[in-house]
Structure 1
Amino acid sequence: MENLKEKFKRKLAENNYKLTKQREVILGTILGNKNWHFTAEDLFAAVKKKDEDIGMATIYRTLELMQNLKIINVHDFNEDSRIYELYSEESHHHHLICKKCGKLVEFSDQDIDYLESELEAKYDFKVTEHKLRFYGYCRDCK
C-alpha cells in the first residue's frame, strides 16, 4: 500500500500542485504524530520547531489543501476551534469528547457499522459517510 507521503505527492501532482518545502515540513510533522488530533495552532507550534519561516497563513492554506485532497479530516467539535486528524479509509472511527477538558477518545463499534447497513437496506439509501460524536465528561472530569 502506498504510504501517506507518496499518496500526498501523487494527489498534489494530479491536481497541479507541487510538494513545496513548507508542505513537506507540515506533512512530516503530521505524519510524525500518528493518531494526533490537532488544531492549526498546535500544528503551527510543532512546525515552528522545524522551520521558523513557516507562517500561520501557510499552515491554514496547507490544511485546507490537505482537507480537499482527503489527506486530513476536519472536525468542528466545538465553536472554538477546528480539530484535524489524518484521513483514513481503513479505520473509520467515532469520538467521545469531554465537555470540560476537551479530551478526545476514538472508538470503533461493529454495532454502528451494522446499523448503517440496516438503515441502507430498510430505507433503500446509500450511506456515503457518517460522523458520530458523544459529548460528556471523561474519567478525570466527571
Structure 2
Amino acid sequence: MSNKEQEVLEKYISQHNLKITKQRRAVLEAFLNCEDHVSAEELYKIVSAKEPKIGLATVYRTLSLLTESGLAAELDFGDGQKRYEMNYAHEHHDHMICTECGKIIEFHNEVIEKLQEEVAQKNGFKMTSHKLDLFGICKECQQ
C-alpha cells in the first residue's frame, strides 16, 4: 500500500475525529490493489477473504471515507450499482460502457477535452469538472 494514500486517509480521518482501524486499512489496501471499477460488494469479497470478521457495512463506510477524502471517485454507470475507482494522483479519463457485458473501457482524447472547454467558454460557463460516459456495445459483444 502506498504511504501517500494512507497518509491522505489518516489525515482525513483525524480531521473528522475518527479512528484509523485495521479494517479501514484492509479496505484501503484492497481498493488500491483493484485494477477494475469495483463495487462495494466486489470489494467486500476481496477484503473478507483476508479479514473474515469485516462487515459489508464497514466496506461501505470506508468507501464513503475514501470518496470524501479524494482517494476514490464514485461512479454511476446506470446499472443500479455504484462503482469506485482511484481518484488520487490519477489523470482525468472518460469511460465507454458496454451495455451487453458491462465492460468498462477508460480513454482520454485531447480533441474531446478541447471541444468540451470550447463549448463551456462559448456559453459563458465556468467548468469546474466534467465526466463523459459513452454507452454502447463493445467489439467482443458485436461479434
- Tell me the TM-score normalised to structure 1 length: 0.89
* 1:48-83 Cα distance to aligned partner (Å, 9 max, x none): 111000011111111122222222111111233111
Distance 2:118 2:88 in 1: 23
Match of 1:74 in 2: 74
**Aligned match of 1:133:** 133
Q: State whether residues 8 and 69 of structure 2, in contact with CA within 8 Å, keep that contact through their aligned partners in structure 1.
A: no
Shift of the 63–32 alpha-carbon distance from structure 1 to 2, 3 Å rule, reads: same
Contact 2:5–2:88, Cα closer than 8 Å, also in 1: no
Aligned to 2:60: 60
The answer to whether residue 15 in structure 2 is matched with residue 19 in structure 1 is: no
**How high is the sequence identity, in percent, across the aligned residues?**
36
CA shift digits 1:5-38 (9 cap, x unpaired): 22222222222222111100000001122x4211
Q: Displacement of 1:85 after TM fit?
A: 0.8
Partner Cα separation in structure 1 for residue 52 and residue 85 of structure 2:
23
- Rounded to whole Å, the distance in 2 between the matches of 1:55 and 1:118 is 47
**Paired amino acid for 1:97:** I
Q: Scaled by the length of structure 2, what TM-score is found?
A: 0.89
* Deviation at residue 90 of structure 1 after TM alignment: 4.1
Unmatched 5+ residue regions in structure 1? none
SS in 2 for 1:135: strand
Q: Name the structure with the higher helix share.
A: 2
Q: Distance in 1 between matches of 2:83 and 2:90?
A: 20
- Asked whether the 8 Å contact 2:44–2:56 carries over to 1, the reply is yes
Deviations 1:75-98 (A, max 9, x none): 111233111111145411110001
Q: How many residues are treated as equivalent by the alignment?
A: 140
CA contact (8 A) 2:97 2:135 kept: yes
Q: Which residue of 2 aligns with 1:5?
A: 6
